[in-house]
Amino acid sequence: MRGNQKSAPDGFENHPSIRAIAAEAAQRFDRPYRVLLADDHAIVRRGLCDLLESQPGIEVAWQAATGADTIAIIKTNKPDLVILDLTFPDVSGLDVLVAGKQESPSTEFLILSMHFSDEFAREVLRFGALGYVLKSDADSELLAAVDRIRRHQPFFTTSLAISVARNFIDPRRAATSAEDGMRLTEREVEVITLIASGRSNKEAAAELGVSPRTVESHRNRIMKRLKFHSFSDLVRFAVREKLVDA
Q: Please tell me the least confidently modeled range out of 8-12, 45-49, 53-57, 128-132.
A: 8-12
pLDDT at 177: 44
Q: Please tell me the least confidently modeled range out of 9-13, 34-38, 63-67, 240-244.
A: 9-13
pLDDT at 15: 53
Domain at 184-240: CATH code: 1.10.10.10
Q: Please tell me the least confidently modeled range out of 61-65, 128-132, 172-176, 204-208.
A: 172-176
| Highest mean pLDDT of the ranges 154-158, 173-177, 224-228 | 224-228
pLDDT at 98: 93
Fold agreement (28-163, 184-240) = no
**Digit-coded pLDDT (tens) for 69-116:** 999 999 999 999 999 998 888 888 889 999 999 999 999 999 998 876
**Counting every residue, how long is the chain?**
246
**Digit-coded pLDDT (tens) for 9-51:** 455 445 555 555 555 544 555 689 999 999 999 999 999 999 9
Say yes or no to pLDDT of 176 above 70. no
Share the mean pLDDT of the chain. 79
182 pLDDT tier (thresholds 50, 70, 90): very low
Of residues 28, 126, 146, 24, the one with CA closest to residue 83: 146
| Section 46-58 average pLDDT | 93
pLDDT at 181: 44
Domain at 28-163: CATH code: 3.40.50.2300
What does the angle CA 146 – CA 143 – CA 32 come to, to the nearest 5 degrees?
55
Say yes or no to pLDDT of 207 above 80. yes
**Residue pair 107/61 in contact by the 8 Å Cβ criterion:** no
pLDDT > 90 fraction of the chain, expressed in percent and rounded: 33
Q: Any idea where the domains of the chain sit in the sequence?
A: 28-163, 184-240
More confident residue, 143 or 166: 143
